[in-house]
Amino acid sequence: MEFTRAQWAALRASTPLPLTESQLRGLVGVNEWMSLDEVAAIYLPLSRLLNLYVGAVQNLHRATATFVGSQSPRVPYVIGLAGSVAVGKSTTSRVLQALLSSWPSHPQVDLVTTDGFLRPQGELEARGLAQRKGFPESYDLRRLVQFMADVKSGAAEVAAPVYSHLAYDIVPGERLVVRRPDIVIVEGLNVLQTGSGRAGQPMPSFVSDFFDFSIYVDAEEEDIEQWYVERFLKLRETVFRDPSSYFHRYAALSPEEAAATARQIWTSINAVNLRENVRPTRERAHLILEKGRDHAVRRIRLRKL
């Protein structure tokens, strides 16, 4: 089902807006745009839809528990969110987390990024995968799938590694602990990825097998590339100036050199990953948000049940 921006906005019904302008600013990523009007038109209707879905699944779990005559553990509703580098996944995830946690029936909403399941930088370099960071083979997929299985089984505590974008690596000894939340949002480049099984072997499990609902944030490739370059230039003026930043060497580049470097990185790494691995998973999503050049969502596609 396809919706224009106006058609989708009308589905908000009477859902209240729980965010203020200052709260929203704290959720928006570097060099991204989002207004309260955008939240009201796009993300409030989405939070209403997801609230209805969560309630339906909770009722289904209760029905199953009644049938088998047992007290089943609380199982989180899992939302997967995919899309390219620089398309705005992180901002979308944080805004959704804030909106969904405002519904009284599921106040605890956790956000997990798959960056924490990237292999350590030293291991990637040893395997010759340093230039393939973000590609499916750069993740510890077995560990990620086990994390998802534990979360979905209702385990009391499940820990995920933490990734530092400043250090460009896994933070040793640091963990994000998930304790039976009502909802878990799992955000990452390749969370909708599947693979081909080997003849005669059982099909492996994938991260997407554990999703109750999935979202793909989409935009034209040339727009995403421009956003990536703009973000790189902004980081050059801020985060890259920190001597402890992995990308500190880029801080001394001129604006022209920095833009050229960003485009080279985009062309050789991120665009390849987008075309080969990320975009092919788009049609697997339950919902696709199509953004225009100004970052505003212009069309929504919702899969029929």
Q: What is the pLDDT of residues 187-245, one digit of tens each?
A: 999 999 886 545 455 557 889 999 999 999 999 999 999 999 999 999 999 999 999 99
C-beta of residue 227 within 8 angstroms of C-beta of residue 31: yes
pLDDT tens track for 1-49: 999 999 999 999 989 999 999 999 999 987 788 999 999 999 999 999 9
Note the pTM of the prediction, 2 decimals: 0.94
Q: Are strands 287-291 and 297-302 parallel, antiparallel or unpaired?
A: antiparallel
Domain ranges of the chain: 2-194+204-302
Q: Strand 158-164 and strand 297-302: pairing? A: unpaired
Contact between 190 and 277 (Cβ < 8 Å): yes
As a whole-number percent, the residues of the chain with pLDDT over 70 amount to: 96
Residue 187: its pLDDT value, please? 97
How would residue 85 be classed by pLDDT, with cut points 50, 70 and 90?
very high
**What are the strands of the beta sheet with 2-4, ordered from one edge?**
2-4, 297-302, 287-291, 213-218, 77-83, 183-187, 109-113
> Under DSSP, is residue 71 helix (H, G, I), strand (E, B) or coil?
coil
Helix axes 89-100, 44-68, angle to 10 degrees: 60
Top-tier CATH class for 2-194+204-302: alpha beta
Report the C-alpha gap between 51 and 46 in whole angstroms: 8
Specify the residue for token string 């097998």: 209
Give the span between the Cα atoms of 50 and 44, in whole angstroms. 10
Instruction: Record the tokens describing residue 47, joined without a space.
Output: 């939070």
* In contact, 78 and 211? CB cutoff 8 Å: yes
Task: Give the model confidence (pLDDT) of 237-269 as tens digits.
Answer: 999 999 999 999 999 999 999 999 999 999 999
CB 255 within 8 A of CB 233: yes
